[in-house]
Amino acid sequence: MSNVQNEELVKKAVIVADDLATNGKLNNKQSDKFIDYVVDETVLKDNARIVRFTNETMDIDKIGIGSRAAVPKSEAKDPGVRRGISTSKISLTPREIMVPVEIGDNFSEINLEGASVEDHIIQMFAKQLANDIEELYIMGNLLGPAALEDDIYPGGSETQYIKDSYLALQNGWLESAEGGNLYNALGTNIGTSVFGAMLRQMPTKFRRNKAALRWLMSPDLAQLYTERLSTRATAAGDAAIAGSRITPFGVPIVECPLLDLTPKVVEHVTLSGTTAVALKNLNISDVVVTPATLGSTPTTKYVDTTDYVIASTATADTIVRDAGGSISDGEVVKVTYSAKPQCILTHMNNLIVGIGRDIRIEKDRDIFAGVNQYAITAKVSVNYEELSALVKGKNIGDGV
């Protein structure tokens, strides 16, 4: 579906300022169209399992065999054993998010589009909501990374940090994948050796249908691999230059626009005495250390080499408290940093996205301020069905 068609779908069926924003809660048909729009605008389309729910929580049943089911068969004789199934559940716990919008009267009057500008702006915010949901699905972390206040609230402090409470709503795919199969590339650049090692680390039963598997990575990491291929004097090199779809070992690459080449990672670690603590990643950068209790109050970060020291080992970086600094002995600190490129290999149906049908698009007016106010509210959730059915590649090199 083209972007033009998507915009028409939203304008006619979901987000028109005068028609629907005054009605509040969307009906099921409108909600489904809105969800379709969100899915079409993100990498979720054809790459994840979309679950639409109406309850506060939703359980997804898992059914499996778990072991060999066949037994030898003798003529006219009961084998004497019976096989059963194993069942379990995956829970989706939705988190409520909102897009609050204000449009002033003066702006509506003097812009070239006139009154229709509100429809256009609301559509733009709906598209941004789709991007924000995708960011949460991929980059969410319950610990909440530290961020400059100005990055979250324009006009805020450019030197002090607050907790990114939006990304703290839930763990996204990148963080949840830490509970799956992990492959440490130790700085090896993206290429067939990395892809091959990750495939081998995935249990065989999950990689029979490679066309249904997906490599999830940042566009820049995919570009680095494309550039490596393009240097080969082969048909694959020519295809890479021409922009053909690349499928390492038969597995399609999915570029996630909201996943950075060096993704932001957050950890809470306890610093006792001068004992070094290993972090999850190697060759980290842009390190920000704050108290673990960081919230909405702008806070000055701790100072590198004064309050703490970061060092590298062969497999991971470490952090150690400086005894003469401001970090108390035994204090839990929040360590936010940029990690080396990461990649996820999994079956597309293993990526579960929950979007609630209880979607609201509401309008109000502040007559004293002279503004129209809009609020788009939705409930979202994300999970994996089976953590053993994925491989997360870490510490991948960022060279060609």
Whether 305 is covered by a domain: the verdict is yes
β-pair type (264-271, 308-312): unpaired
Whether 230 is covered by a domain: the verdict is no
Total structural domains within the chain: 1
pLDDT at 37: 79
Q: Is the pLDDT of residue 21 over 50?
A: no
Question: Using one digit for the tens of pLDDT, what is the confidence trace for 134-164?
Answer: 999 999 999 999 999 999 999 999 999 999 9
Q: Is the pLDDT of residue 244 over 80?
A: no
Please report which confidence band the pLDDT of residue 83 belongs to, taking 50, 70 and 90 as the band edges.
Answer: low
Whether 319 is covered by a domain: the verdict is yes
Whether 275 is covered by a domain: the verdict is yes
Whether 332 is covered by a domain: the verdict is yes
Q: What are the C-alpha distances in Å from 341 to residues 57, 213, 333, 334?
A: 33, 20, 24, 21
Q: Is the pLDDT of residue 3 over 50?
A: no
Question: Using one digit for the tens of pLDDT, what is the confidence trace for 84-123?
Answer: 544 567 778 889 998 887 777 665 555 545 555 556 666 7
Q: What percent of the chain is modeled with pLDDT above 90?
A: 51
The two three-digit tokens of residue 163, written as one number: 């907790």
Whether 333 is covered by a domain: the verdict is yes
Domain containing 319 equals 264-338
Q: Is the pLDDT of residue 172 over 60?
A: yes
Whether 283 is covered by a domain: the verdict is yes
Whether 59 is covered by a domain: the verdict is no
